[in-house]
Structure 1
Amino acid sequence: MPQRHLLTSTLAAFSLLALAACTVPGSGDDGTDTSTDGSSGASGDVASCLEGNWSLDTADLAGQLQAYFVENGTPVTSTTQDGAVTLDVDADTMTFESGVTFTMTAVTEGLTMVIAQDQAGISTGAWTVEGDDVVFSDWDNGITITNTITIGGESVGDSMELPADTGAGVPMTVNCDGDTLTTKPDESPFTSRWSRIG
């Protein structure tokens, strides 16, 4: 596979990964929400389930990224992660804090390509429950995405453009059940899995 094609496809998938990892559950860019919660039809149950502190399973997300490339014929040899992502939910506010790096290694035409993506910062906003839906408002996106790319040990770039609404309003399907939570943006093939930590 030509290096340029591999680089382009890898960055495209990292963009999808950023959508999965850096967007809060269900926030609409117009302040509305189209997601549903699989735990209950009652607003009180949805709210009580979501409230608390959640930790993202970053290893699972890295594994999904690895599988995505392998299934699509890209010669990725490893995908790792370092750091943590948390989601804190109280009665009025959601706060998403990211400090994670995903690193992907691929070998093509005898050269090793490594892309490391840092997702760092804090995003926060107000939320309410309307029926089965979670509705967000006054969202402040503070997540920064930075990529470091090397091919054959030489740096070839350190940034890329992401969709304008990354972290600020991609509709998501949300399922909350006890101490487990899953979120999946409509535009992403990846599902984020969260565990309650408080």
Structure 2
Amino acid sequence: MSQLTQTKTYVLPGYGNSGPGHWQTRWEALDASFVRVAMPDWDRPVREAWCETLDRTVVSELTGPLRFAAHSLGCLTLAHWALRIAGAAQIDKIAGALLVAPPDPSGPGFPRDAAGYGDLALAPLPFPSIVVASSDDPYGSLAFAERCARAWGSRLVEIGPRGHINADSGLGDWEEGRRHLASFLD
């Protein structure tokens, strides 16, 4: 068995969850080591509740390495959890995080029923990370993604005009994203 299949990857969708055509859902279908974190309410997210759910999930894992494949609001949740909630024992399990299309809470497209996300956690993450951004994301500008990547100490990968990097972006199984995620085990 390869190291890729031995490493659990937690999938952190954003607002509304990720449907059947989304790359996160496709990755789960392709590889049983990808496990979605089931948030309490996908349509009315509360940052503290999402972070508590994430914390319980990671605490329940006895060993690592763990990776994260976060999209949209999942990126902001993961950053807040890692920087303000997680303990050293949880952080030590994490090999890295792929943070795709972080949304701007002050942007016009940000869901107004998402509570607690205005206070961004912007400091270096305690694990390796890559921020993937699109040049025409309606929920977060490239400048916002660059700001997040710089603050989080993440490598920034800009993939051109791909919208919100979701099912509507036509990425299919998004092999490029999987290669970025696999880099955390190299």
Higher relative contact order (CA 8 A, sep 6+): 1
Please report the TM-score for the alignment, with normalisation by the length of structure 2: 0.29
Larger relative helix fraction: 2
Structure of higher CA gyration radius: 1
Larger relative strand fraction: 1
